[in-house]
């Protein structure tokens, strides 16, 4: 096994060596439990982000039903501080991300109030931007609110990611035929920002995150994760540890592994090393779909590694994020089984 030391965690991690093989490839190591959240207030951890400036700190927040607050947690699973956002209403927080302000070098945290289980209940959704706290001392923080609506109508979503080089914000919808949406280059607070579709996403995506160098990004689902160079440009399918309800994913600061978590009181967080060739993807070879979102609708959009059409497809790339047939079959089988159970119950009740 290849051993590496994570600067973020201060731990030595065993990473499986990946042999060259055609896509889709799988990680040789599906991870190990790093810690569990010990704070009973963290009962529906839905977003996860690694602190870009504080060693050994991760941030998390709860799903809908909680107030506008988030928690700073150490590698032992203990809460170091609790932070609240002043004047913010937490409707359905589903994701968070961390970035670094290139002008100041300070950390920035993003919170996505983008859940919409009724697929159109809200006329717009919101993302809140907060300066990362300087110290791990509980406090109330000021936030900047950005409002968004989707091109083509409302969507339910649980994934958000921030490109570390450009600062561009992306939302990943949670649907059977999911999509990646890009925000404008410059976000406005005085009007609603339009989210434009730039590519497909795996079925029922629950979270997403960019690699620290911007060379790739990962999208999490309930069953697995998929690694991409750009929308539709799949690098590998990654096995994930079995979780009760997989809701979150984030890169470690060195970009060599992923953290993934679940909902529930005392829920676990796993460390999943990435395959060697997944971490060797060059940032110069990556495609940032920035140019794509500014092309007129109905025209081809050029990226660094291929052409993205207005429908989000790339020639020679996998639509739907390279969803395995077995996964689709599992979802269909579950749906058919549920319908059958409901039919039996209804029949017996009618008698």
CB within 8 A of 318, min separation 6: which ones? 232, 234
Question: pLDDT band at residue 333, thresholds of 50, 70 and 90?
Answer: low
Task: Classify the phi-psi angles of 254: left when phi > 0, otherwise alpha if psi is within -120 to 50, otherwise beta.
Answer: alpha
Question: pLDDT band at residue 201, thresholds of 50, 70 and 90?
Answer: very high
Average pLDDT, the chain: 79
Higher pLDDT, 282 or 262: 262
Q: Is the pLDDT of residue 139 over 50?
A: yes
Question: pLDDT band at residue 319, thresholds of 50, 70 and 90?
Answer: very low
Q: Is the pLDDT of residue 194 over 90?
A: yes
pLDDT of the residue at 346: 39
Q: Which two tokens stand for residue 111?
A: 């919170």
Higher pLDDT, 190 or 312: 190
Q: Helix, strand, or coil here: 54?
A: coil
Q: Is the pLDDT of residue 4 over 50?
A: no
Contact 85, 144 (CB under 8 A): no
- Of all residues in the chain, the percent with pLDDT exceeding 90 is 64
Q: Is the peptide bond before 24 cis (omega within 30 degrees of 0)?
A: yes
CB within 8 A of 40, min separation 6: which ones? 265, 266
DSSP letters spanning 153-208: S---EEEEEE-TTT--EEEEE-STTEEEEE--SS--SSSPEEEEEEEEE-TTEEEE
pLDDT of the residue at 275: 85
Question: pLDDT band at residue 351, thresholds of 50, 70 and 90?
Answer: very low
Tens digits of residue pLDDT in 15-38: 333 333 334 444 445 689 999 999
pLDDT of the residue at 278: 74
Poorest-pLDDT segment among 14-28, 95-109, 181-195, 243-257? 14-28
Q: What is the distance between the alpha carbons of residues 170 and 114, in angstroms, rounded to a whole number?
A: 12
CB neighbour class for 271 (10 Å; exposed up to 12, middle 13-18, buried from 19)? buried
pLDDT of the residue at 175: 93
Where do the domains of the chain lie, and which CATH numbers do they carry?
2-350 (2.120.10)
Residue 212 DSSP one-character state? T
Q: What is the distance between the alpha carbons of residues 13 and 112, in angstroms, rounded to a whole number?
A: 31
CB within 8 A of 68, min separation 6: which ones? 84, 85, 88, 89, 90, 93, 111, 128
pLDDT of the residue at 337: 54
pLDDT of the residue at 122: 83
Average pLDDT over residues 334-342: 48
Average pLDDT over residues 64-83: 96
């Amino acid at each position: 096994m290849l051993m590496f030391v994570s600067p973020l965690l201060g731990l030595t991690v065993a990473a499986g060596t990946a042999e060259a093989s055609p896509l889709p490839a799988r990680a040789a190591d599906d991870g190990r439990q790093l810690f569990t959240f010990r704070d009973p207030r963290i009962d529906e951890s839905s977003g996860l982000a690694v602190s870009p400036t504080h060693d050994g700190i991760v941030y998390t927040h709860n799903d809908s039903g909680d107030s506008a607050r988030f928690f700073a947690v150490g590698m032992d699973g203990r809460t170091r501080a609790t932070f609240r956002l002043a004047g913010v209403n937490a409707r359905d927080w589903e994701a968070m991300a961390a970035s670094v302000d290139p002008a100041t070098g300070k950390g920035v945290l993003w919170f996505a109030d983008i859940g919409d289980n009724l697929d159109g209940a809200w006329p717009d959704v919101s993302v809140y931007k907060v300066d990362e706290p300087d110290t791990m001392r509980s406090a109330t923080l000021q936030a900047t609110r950005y409002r968004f609506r989707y091109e083509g109508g409302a969507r339910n979503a649980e994934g958000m990611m921030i490109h570390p080089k450009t600062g561009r914000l992306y939302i990943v919808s949670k649907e059977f035929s999911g999509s990646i949406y890009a925000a404008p280059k410059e976000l406005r607070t005085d009007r609603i920002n339009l989210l434009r579709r730039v590519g497909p996403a795996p079925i029922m995506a629950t979270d997403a995150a960019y690699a620290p160098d911007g060379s790739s990004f990962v999208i999490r689902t309930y069953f697995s994760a998929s690694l991409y160079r750009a929308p539709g440009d799949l690098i590998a399918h990654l096995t994930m540890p079995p979780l009760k309800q997989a809701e979150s994913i984030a890169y470690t600061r060195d970009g060599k592994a992923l953290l993934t978590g679940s909902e529930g009181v005392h829920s676990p967080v796993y460390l999943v090393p990435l395959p060697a060739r997944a971490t060797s993807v060059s940032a110069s070879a990556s495609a940032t779909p920035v140019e794509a979102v500014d092309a007129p609708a109905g025209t081809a959009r050029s990226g660094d590694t291929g052409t993205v059409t207005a429908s989000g497809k790339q020639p020679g790339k996998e639509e739907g994020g390279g969803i395995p047939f077995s996964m689709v079959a599992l979802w269909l089988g579950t749906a058919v089984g549920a319908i059958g159970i409901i039919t039996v119950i209804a029949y017996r009740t009618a008698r």
